[in-house]
């Protein structure tokens, strides 16, 4: 599927993680997704860097919160916490059988430290740092979504009421539904 974004043509194709195309591996030897190959051939391999590239092309809703250095600083700190301690707890919670040093509940409790922080932030705004979603919400959302899905009954019974509303709003948003569309599987030319 071809997409024109901010004057740049972008090709979106789904790949099978079991059958990685040779052209993708040549562009990005680490063999993980996402991968953005720009028209000039430059490769961007990290989700956050791809998001920042796209927002630097066109950020009409100020997702990068460029009007406030304080909010930009909060964004960077939250994303770093998400990508560090929370992601480590999430991975161990999801795959607790690979980390038998502690039971699943131990890793869940480690992840809950971040959930509590998010719940507290959401007591001030509809989204993490303001009343409209921003880059920080979009960057953190997939990981909180994964965490909520490990034991949905447990998550549904938690007291994270504002976090559950935030998660539901993002899962039911037009933006999320648009990006979750299936695309043709990548085929080498």
User: Going from the N-terminus, what domains does the chain have, and what CATH number goes with each?
Assistant: 2-58 (no CATH), 69-174 (1.20.1050.10)
Give the sign of the dihedral formed by CA 18, CA 82, CA 96, CA 167.
Answer: negative
pTM confidence score: 0.83
The pair of three-digit structure tokens given for residue 164, joined into one six-digit string: 């559950």
Dist CA 142 CA 133 (whole Å):
14
pLDDT < 50: residue spans in the chain:
1-7
Per-residue pLDDT at 171: 95
Place of tokens 């740092």: 129
Helices (H), the chain: 22-27, 47-57, 69-81, 87-94, 104-122, 135-150, 152-157, 161-171, 174-179
Per-residue pLDDT at 4: 46
Dist CA 51 CA 47 (whole Å):
6
């Amino acid at each position: 599927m071809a997409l024109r974004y901010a004057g740049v043509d972008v090709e979106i194709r789904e790949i099978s993680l079991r059958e990685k195309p040779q052209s993708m591996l040549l562009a990005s030897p680490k063999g993980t997704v996402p991968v953005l190959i720009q028209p000039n051939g430059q490769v961007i391999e990290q989700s956050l860097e791809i998001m920042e590239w796209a927002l630097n092309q066109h950020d009409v809703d100020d997702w990068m919160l460029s009007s406030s250095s304080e909010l930009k600083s909060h964004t960077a700190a939250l994303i770093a916490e998400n990508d560090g301690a929370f992601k480590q707890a999430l991975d161990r919670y999801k795959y607790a059988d690979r980390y038998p040093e502690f039971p699943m509940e131990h890793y869940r409790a480690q992840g809950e430290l971040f959930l509590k922080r998010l719940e507290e932030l959401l007591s001030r705004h509809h989204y993490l740092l303001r009343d409209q979603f921003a880059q920080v919400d979009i960057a953190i959302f997939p990981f909180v979504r994964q965490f909520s899905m490990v034991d949905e009954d447990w998550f549904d019974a938690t007291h994270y009421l504002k976090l559950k509303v935030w998660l539901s709003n993002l899962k039911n948003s037009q933006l999320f539904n648009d990006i979750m569309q299936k695309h043709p599987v990548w085929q080498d030319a």
